[in-house]
Each structure stands twice: as structure tokens, then as C-alpha cells.
Structure 1
Amino acid sequence: MPTGFAGLGLMGEPMAANLCRAGLDLTVYNRSPRPYDALRALGAVVADTPAALFEACDTVILMLANDQATDLILDRGGASFAARVGGHLIVNMGTHSLAYSQALEADIRGAGGSFVEAPVSGSRLPAQSGALVAMLAGDPDAVARARPLFVPMCREMVETGAVPSAMAMKLAVNLYLVATVAALGEAAALAGSLGLDLGLFEQVITSGPLRSDIAAAKLAKMVRDDFGPQAAIRDVCKNAALVAEAAATARAPVPLLTESRRLFETVLAAGHGEQDMAAVVTAFHEAGKPT
């Protein structure tokens, strides 16, 4: 039977496209029809409803925005939930709280389904090039069944153990990402305030020991005021809130996350939630304006 894919946003659409290019028999569903034409051209079949998606596929990948969207697709708590997940392998690649993911696995297994928790590290560009890093958790047999699906989408797969360990790993990685991009924005803003050539600043950062894929991609956007989304501010704020929740539960101090989260939320409150996370640099521009 074909594989299903639900959630064709910034990340999901290129991930699904890579599955099509790899020759998978893919059926897709999205609440908005916008991404369908490109995927149809690659051979994907479009399901009109979530029910049709699950009827057509025994394995379904979810790449959805939040808990509510995931529950809606699965009809979790509804009359058709057991029929949708029973006998199915559900691979959830979205980002959620640890408690949500653990409860979701319990519900799916209780209804006779299998579950793999599989959040990824990366943004739209790595999703397009198949260079994501997947963190996998769940029953070993279910993870083994799911692993081939990640090959067209990911350059590496890291098995972390039982659910919700993959989600915990993703949240810890996200703390590093959020704090790194916030620090990069602060440094770029300082360079501008000191009258430096930002192109030269970019050259020094990306040529020396501080170079990374994130530094190169986000600094290029900051220097050129190009905030077309690869990882949107609204998603960064959602994920930062999940990291803060997990840290509070673990009683782990996260002072860098706290300040970085405040900066991203400042940009979100200014109406720039759809811009790339590199737009955090504008928080420093606004702070430096005379009152």
C-alpha cells in the first residue's frame, strides 16, 4: 500500500517531494491545496480527506504544526480514531511537548497501531536537499519498519530509545539553535552600530572557526535583510515555549533560552511571525532607536 504524508508546510512539502523523487507510492493530504500541483507532477496522489488518506495507506507520516492539527488529522478522541490508526504505522515528525508525544504513543498503541516519534533537525533548505537529521524513538520493530522512509529526507538517523526521548533530544537541540541565532543577530547588530562593513563581518564569521551551516545561512539573511522564511519566527516561538516547558519540568536552568525567547517574541509581537528566524536581528535595531 502507499505511504501517506499529512502536513505540507515549509518543511513538509519538500520532504514529501523527496519521497516522490525516491519512487515511493505517496498519497498526500493538506488542509490547504496550495502545494498539491507540484507534488502531483512528481507522482503523488491527493487524498481529499484525512479519512481517505488513512484508508489508502498503512503507513502515515505526520508533519503538522501543533497538537490540535495532529489530533484533528487522527480524529483523536473521536469515533474514527481507532479505525484510522489501528493496524497502521504512524510516524510523527512534528514537534510537541514530551507529555503530548508520550500520551499520543499510548493512545495509538492502545488502538492497535504502531508509533514512531521522529522529529528532525533542520529547516526548509536541508528539507529540500534531503539533509535533515532525524531523531527516532519508539518500539524497535516500529523504528526498523520506518527507517527506510527517512533515507530520501535525511542525511542521518539517530535512534534515542523509547518515546519521548527523540522529542527531548529535539528540544535540547532547539535550545542551542534559538540561542545561537539570537546571539548571531546581536553580534550583527553590534557590527552595524560600530560602522563595520557587514559583508566583511559575514566573511570573518563564515571563514573562521565560528563557521556553521546555521551561521552562514542566517547571517546571509541578516546582512541582506532577506527574511523569506526557512524557519518562521512563529514556529521558533512555539518551539521555544516547548523547550521552556520541558526545562521547567526537569528543573533545569535555561537563562540563555529565556532571553533569546523574549527577543523572538518581540519580533512576533511586531507582526513578523511569518518571517525567517533571522529577523530576530530587527529586535536589536528597534531597541537601538532613539525614543
Structure 2
Amino acid sequence: MTVGFLGLGVMGTPMAANLARAGADLIVWSRTDRGNTPPGAVRARTAAEVFGKAGTVLLMLATEQAIDEVLAGVDVSGKLVVHMGTTSPEFSAGLNDKIKSRGGRYVEAPVSGSRGPAEAGELIAMVAGEPADRGETARVIAPMCRQTVDCGEVPGGLLMKLAVNTFLISMATGLAEAFHFAEAYGLDPGLLRQVLDAGPMASAVSRVKAAKLVTGDFEVQAAIRDVLKNNELIVEAARRRDVASPLLDVCRSLYAETAALGHGEQDMAAVIHGLRATRRPAP
């Protein structure tokens, strides 16, 4: 069966490449042609061409608007449409209804992981939809993922993704604040990194972000603008359930400030620029 993949951005390009390397009969499309068609894949001229040839189509599109625009002019009848990006759970639930009303099948499978895990095929997918469709999706996306987690019905996958990102954002921002604090006292950031990497709080994420904070190399793994979007989705979802989100409220302001300073396309570790620009509250 031919698999379609829409969206060859920071995450989508390595994800599609892993599918192609695994031998999938892959047809891809992206709004911008950066010359990044994975070896072994065929590049379509339009999204409609992908839907015309593929039985399963994976979406790794950046925004809800982009998804709506792409799907507006295509025939999804008989197709399994898998939404792998991050949007609001409400949008995904509505998309589920739209796809099914047009004769298609729908699964959401947002992933946890940034560009590095995407390149290594080490993403964690949170799959939600009809039981048979969840199983079929897990088989298709296996080359991209270290693990797929069954999250039940839509929008269980995206709700789980927002919960995961709550921890990710607060953790990475706290790490940047630790380096900001050390900087203010003239501590050696390399030594701080050494202590953190050796200690019980170390993780794959903290090691990558600490290295960036030491070197000042903010080449993107997860961009400030994307983290801000995810942060806003979390805060909005918390408000709908009257759930307290004090950490993410503060993080949203810091990422917005960092983006306003011109660092939106840099890695999320660049939030330290937002911390440096933030005034200390009066005692």
C-alpha cells in the first residue's frame, strides 16, 4: 500500500526519510520544495495527488489553518488520515467528524520528541481513534517511532500530548533559568552542565539543552515559535477545565518575549534570551 506524507518541515523531513528507508512505497508533498524529498520517495505536485495515490496519508502540518486548507480540496473517501502534528484537541475532534462524514477514517498520532529523536526513529506516538484504525496506524508509523501508546478515542492522543508538553516546557525552561542564575553569579556553565549531566535529574532532553546553553548553539531541535504555540494550546485547554497552570502561564510569557526578541526560529533553549530580558520583580 502506498503511504502519503504531507509536511516536510523540521520534524516531517526526517520522519518521512525513516519511512522511505524502511521500504515504504512513499509519496510526499510539502508547500515549500527545499530539495528535501527523501531518497526512495516520490514527490507529488499537489496534496490531491497524494490522496489520489495513497491509502494512508500522514499529516505533519504546522497549523490548524494549514490542515483545513490542504484537506478542503481533496477526496478522503476510503482513506486513513493520520494527524501527527499538534493542534487543539477540539480541532482534532472536529476533524475526526469531518473526515468520517466524507467517507474517510481518522486517527490522531501526535509524537513526543524533537528533531534528534525524529532523525533516529525514536519518537513516541500517542495514537487515538477507532481500535482497528489505531492498530493499522501503529504498523504504518513503526519506522518513525520507538513506541506507540494507545490513547483510546479521539482526542485522547492530543490531550496526552499536551500533558507531556506541560512537563517538557516547564523542565526545559527551568533548565534555562538554572543557567541564567549561574551566569549572574559568574559560575562556570560547563561545570554546571557536568553536575547536571551526572545527577539524578539528567535526561536525554536535559543533556541536549544543557549543551546548547553552554555553547550558545541554538540550532533548532524544537523551535521557540512552535513551543510557544504548544504552550498556548496547553494554557487554553487548562482554562476550559478551570485547571491551574501557573508554570505554563509564566513560560508562555517567556517564550513570547523570546520570539519578540527575534529568536522564534531558534531552539527552545534560546528562551534564556527571554530570561535575560525580563526585569526582576520588586521585593
TM-score by length of 2: 0.97
Superposed counterparts of 1:1-291, under 5 Å: 1-37=1-37, 39=38, 42-75=39-72, 80-81=73-74, 84-287=75-278
Q: Is the 8 A contact 1:3 1:25 kept in 2?
A: yes
Q: What displacement does 1:73 show?
A: 1.3
- The separation in 2 between residues aligned to 1:224 and 1:11, in whole angstroms, is 23
CA distance in 2: counterparts of 1:93 and 1:179, whole angstroms: 23
1:137·1:164 contact (CA, 8 Å) conserved in 2?
A: yes
Matches of 1:141 and 1:231 in 2, distance apart? 32
Separation of aligned partners in 1, 2:156 and 2:139? 20
Task: Kindly provide the CA deviation profile for residues 263-285 of structure 1, in whole angstroms up to 9, marking residues without a partner as x.
Answer: 11110111111000000011222
Amino acid paired to 2:127: L
Tell me by how many angstroms 1:35 deviates. Answer: 4.1
The Cα of 1:150 is off from its aligned counterpart by 1.9
Query: How many angstroms apart in 1 are the aligned matches of 2:97 and 2:275?
Result: 44
Distance 2:278 2:76 in 1: 49
The one-letter code matched in structure 2 to 1:5 is F
CA contact (8 A) 1:178 1:261 kept: no
CA distance in 2, matches of 1:214, 1:181: 8
Q: For the Cα contact (< 8 Å) 1:20–1:43, is it kept in 2?
A: yes
SS of the counterpart of 1:211?
coil
Q: How far does residue 71 in structure 1 lie from its aligned partner after superposition? A: 1.0
Give distance in 1, aligned partners of 2:277 and 2:203.
27
Could you give the per-residue CA deviations for residues 75-110 of structure 1, whole angstroms, max 9, x where no partner exists?
Answer: 1xxxx44xx211000010010111100000011111
Counterparts of 1:216 and 1:146, CA distance in 2: 31
What CA deviation, in whole Å up to 9, does each residue of 1:137-185 have, x standing for no partner?
0000111111112211010110011000110000011111111111111
C-alpha separation in 2, matches of 1:283 and 1:90? 38
Contact 1:36 1:46 in 2 (8 A): no
Aligned residue for 1:156, secondary structure, equals strand
**Post-superposition offset of 1:16:** 0.1
Q: What is the CA-CA distance between 1:131 and the residue it aligns to?
A: 0.5
SS of the equivalent of 1:270 reads helix
Q: State the Cα distance separating 1:288 from its structure 2 match.
A: 6.7
Percent identity, aligned pairs only, is 48
Task: Read off the aligned partner of 2:49 and give its amino acid letter.
Answer: A
1:6/1:29 contact within 8 Å kept:
yes
CA distance in structure 1 between the partners assigned to 2:274 and 2:127 by the alignment: 35
RMSD (CA atoms): 1.2
SS of equivalent residue, structure 1 residue 135: strand
Letter of the 1:14 partner, please give it: P
1:35 & 1:236 partners in 2: Cα distance? 26
**AA matched with 1:30:** S
Which residue identity does 1:152 align to in structure 2? P
TM-score when scaled to structure 1?
0.94
Equivalent residue letter for 1:3: V
Amino acid at match of 1:31: R
Question: C-alpha offsets along residues 220-245 of structure 1, whole Å, 9 cap, x if unaligned?
Answer: 10111011111000000111110011
Segments of structure 2 that go 5 or more residues without pairing to the other structure are none
